[in-house]
C-alpha cells in the first residue's frame, strides 16, 4: 500500500483508502475516492470521520463517500452503522438537519429536442407553478389532523389526496411511507414551520431540473429503468423543509444536554447522540421517521405540480416515476457482519442507499439490475443515474454517494461569482435558470462543486454502484 500526504491514511486499492484506528477510534475510516479527490478533500473530513469512528457501538468502519466534504458532526458523505445490542447510538448529526433530503427522477416520454424547443415556456410555467425559495409557501395549509396524517402516511397520504398516482408508490423508497413514525415526538414549533411549506421546493441546493439523457452507459439497467438516450427526464431534489430542520435542532440540543448529564460523551459536541434503546434515542427515531414521511409527501406534491406544469405546455408528456431515494436518514437494515446477519441502524448523511440486484426491498421491475441511485450534479454540468451493486453490501452497507459535493462554502461561492452572470453564462450554453434568488444562483455556481464525473467514476470503479446514464441540464428551477 502506498501512502498519501495525510498522516495515518494508506491506500488499499486504486479507489479505496483507509485511516487506521488511533486515539479513541475503535474502527478504521474507509474512504472511496480517486487520488485527485483525496488530495482536494478538506482536512475537516478526516477529523470528523475519525470522531465518528470513536462513537459507541459503531460496526466495522466509518465510510466516506467520494463527494465528501465538511458537515455538522458527521462529514457530508459519511456512512456509519450502529448495533443497538452492543451499545450503539443514534446521532442527529449523523442524519443532518434536512432529514430525508433526496432525489426523485421521472421520465417524460418525450425527446429532449422537443422539450428544449419549448424550454422558455416550460421553465416559466414550472417557476410559476412550483413555490421555490426561502420562505416560499404552498397552496395547502395543514390543520392538526392533516399534519398528523401526513407525518404518518408520507407519499401515500399525498396520493390519497390526489397528489399523484397510486403506481408512483411502488417506485419510492419504503413504498412511500416509513413505518415507525411518531408525530407526537415532533415539536409544535416544527409543525408550525411546516404548515405553509407543503409542496414547496425550498432554497440552497434544492432544484427541479429538466435533463436530456446524454449517454447510456449500462444498457440492461437503463432498459429496466425505462431510460432512453435522447429523451428528457425530470429530477426533483428537496427534503423535509422547516420541519426536518427543526427536528434536527430540537434533538441536537436534547442529546447534547443528556450526554453532558449521563453520557455517552462524544469527541465533538456536534456528534451529540443517545443510545438507540434509550427513551431519547427512540424519541428521535420516531420524530426522524415522521420527517422522512414529510419529505416523501413533499416530493410527491412537487411531482403533481410538475405534471400540471408540463400538461400546460407539453400536454403529450407523461411524467412517470423512475425512483425516489433519500440521502439524509437513519434506517434499520439487516446486514451481514462476519458470518451472521443482524439489524443495524445505518446512518447515511449525504449518502444514498444502493441496494444491489436481488434485494427484496426493490421493486420487482428493478430487482434483476439493482436499485436506481440518483446522483445530482450542478445546474451547469451533469447528473447521473447509477445502479446498486451486490459488492456494495460488503463495501459500505449498500451505500453510495449522493451528488457532486461542494468544493467551497456558499459564502466563498457568492464572493467569487455573480448570480446574474452565472445565469447568463448558462443561458448562452442553452441552459435556462429561474430562481427566486440571484445570490442563491451564485452560491450554487457549477464551479463551487467537485467534478461530478470524477465522483461517479470513483463510486463506479470502487464497486459502490455502477454508472447507468449521464444526464445533462436543459432548464433548472431553483430556490
Which pLDDT score, from 0 to 100, does residue 137 have? 81
- Which CATH code, of 3.30.930.10, 3.90.1860.10, 3.40.50.300, 3.30.413.10, is assigned to 9-407+449-478? 3.90.1860.10
Of 402, 394, 327, nearest to 173 (Cα)?
327
Stated pTM of the model: 0.96
pLDDT at 353 over 80: yes
Which pLDDT score, from 0 to 100, does residue 240 have? 96
Distance between alpha carbon 171 and the CA centroid of its chain, in Å?
Answer: 16
Mean pLDDT of 451-465: 97
For residue 264, is the peptide bond before it cis, meaning its omega torsion is within 30 degrees of 0? yes
d(CA 7, CA 29): 13
Which pLDDT score, from 0 to 100, does residue 139 have? 83
Which pLDDT score, from 0 to 100, does residue 4 have? 58
- Residue 7: pLDDT band by 50, 70, 90 thresholds? confident
Mean pLDDT of 405-411: 91
State the Cα torsion 152-158-159-164 to the nearest 10°: -150
**Domain segments of the chain as ranges:** 9-407+449-478
- Residue 125: pLDDT band by 50, 70, 90 thresholds? very high
What are 53-71's pLDDT values in tens digits?
Answer: 999 999 999 999 999 999 9
Mean pLDDT of 249-257: 96
Distances (CA, A) of 58 to 29, 85, 277: 11, 11, 14
**Residues 80, 94: contact at Cβ < 8 Å?**
yes
Of 309, 110, 124, 300, nearest to 213 (Cα)?
110
pLDDT at 407 over 60: yes
pLDDT at 186 over 70: yes
What are 142-170's pLDDT values in tens digits?
Answer: 999 999 999 999 999 999 999 999 999 99
What are 419-428's pLDDT values in tens digits?
Answer: 999 999 999 9
pLDDT at 3 over 60: no
Identify the active-site residue in 69, 304, 345, 402. Answer: 402
344 forms bridges with which residues in the sheet?
333
- The per-residue pLDDT of the chain, averaged, comes to 95
- Residue 75: pLDDT band by 50, 70, 90 thresholds? very high
Is 402 noted as a catalytic residue in this protein?
yes
What are 188-234's pLDDT values in tens digits?
Answer: 999 999 999 999 998 888 999 999 999 999 999 999 999 999 999 99
pLDDT at 134 over 80: no
d(CA 126, CA 115): 13
Amino acid at each position: 500500500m502506498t501512502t498519501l500526504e495525510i498522516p495515518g491514511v494508506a491506500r488499499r486499492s486504486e479507489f479505496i483508502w483507509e485511516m487506521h484506528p488511533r486515539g479513541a477510534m475503535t474502527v478504521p475510516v474507509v474512504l472511496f475516492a480517486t487520488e485527485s479527490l483525496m488530495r482536494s478533500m478538506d482536512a475537516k473530513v478526516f477529523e470528523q470521520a475519525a470522531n465518528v469512528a470513536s462513537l459507541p457501538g459503531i460496526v466495522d468502519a466509518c465510510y466516506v463517500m467520494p463527494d465528501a466534504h465538511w458537515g455538522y458532526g458527521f462529514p457530508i458523505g459519511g456512512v456509519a452503522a450502529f448495533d443497538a445490542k452492543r451499545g450503539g447510538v443514534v446521532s442527529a448529526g449523523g442524519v443532518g438537519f434536512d432529514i430525508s433530503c433526496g432525489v426523485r427522477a421521472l421520465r417524460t416520454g418525450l425527446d429532449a429536442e422537443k422539450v428544449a424547443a419549448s424550454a422558455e415556456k416550460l421553465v416559466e410555467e414550472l417557476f410559476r407553478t412550483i413555490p421555490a425559495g426561502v420562505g416560499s409557501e404552498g397552496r395547502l395549509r395543514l390543520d392538526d389532523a392533516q399534519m398528523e396524517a401526513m407525518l404518518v402516511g408520507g407519499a401515500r397520504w399525498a396520493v390519497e389526496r390526489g397528489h399523484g398516482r397510486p403506481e408512483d408508490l411502488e417506485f419510492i423508497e419504503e413504498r412511500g411511507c416509513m413505518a415507525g413514525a411518531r408525530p407526537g415526538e415532533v415539536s409544535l414549533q416544527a409543525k408550525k414551520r411546516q404548515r405553509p411549506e407543503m409542496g414547496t421546493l425550498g432554497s440552497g441546493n434544492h432544484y427541479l431540473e429538466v435533463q436530456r439523457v446524454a449517454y447510456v452507459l449500462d444498457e440492461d439497467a437503463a432498459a429496466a429503468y425505462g431510460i432512453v438516450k435522447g429523451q428528457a427526464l425530470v429530477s426533483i431534489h428537496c427534503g423535509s423543509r422547516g420541519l426536518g430542520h427543526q427536528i434536527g435542532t430540537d434533538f441536537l440540543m436534547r442529546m447534547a444536554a443528556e450526554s453532558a448529564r449521563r453520557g455517552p460523551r462524544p469527541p465533538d459536541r456536534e456528534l451529540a447522540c443517545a443510545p438507540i434503546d434509550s427513551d431519547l434515542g427512540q424519541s428521535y427515531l420516531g420524530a426522524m421517521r415522521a420527517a422522512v414521511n414529510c419529505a416523501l409527501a413533499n416530493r410527491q406534491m412537487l411531482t403533481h405540480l410538475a405534471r400540471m406544469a408540463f400538461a400546460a405546455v407539453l400536454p403529450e408528456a407523461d411524467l412517470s416515476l423512475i425512483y425516489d431515494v433519500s440521502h439524509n436518514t437513519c434506517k434499520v437494515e439487516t446486514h451481514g457482519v462476519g458470518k451472521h446477519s443482524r439489524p443495524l441502524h445505518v446512518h447515511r448523511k449525504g449518502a444514498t442507499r444502493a441496494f444491489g440486484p436481488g434485494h427484496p426491498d426493490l421493486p420487482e421491475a428493478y430487482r434483476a439490475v439493482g436499485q436506481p441511485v440518483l446522483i445530482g450534479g450542478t445546474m451547469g454540468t451533469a447528473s447521473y443515474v447509477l445502479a446498486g451493486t451486490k459488492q456494495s453490501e460488503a463495501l459500505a452497507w449498500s451505500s453510495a454517494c449522493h451528488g457532486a459535493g461542494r468544493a467551497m462554502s456558499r459564502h466563498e461561492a457568492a464572493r467569487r461569482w455573480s448570480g446574474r452572470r452565472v445565469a447568463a453564462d448558462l443561458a448562452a450554453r442553452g441552459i435556462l435558470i429561474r430562481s427566486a434568488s440571484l445570490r442563491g444562483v451564485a452560491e450554487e455556481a457549477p464551479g463551487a462543486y467537485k467534478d461530478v464525473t470524477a465522483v461517479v467514476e470513483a463510486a463506479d470503479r470502487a464497486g459502490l454502484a455502477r454508472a447507468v446514464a449521464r444526464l445533462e441540464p436543459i432548464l433548472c428551477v431553483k430556490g
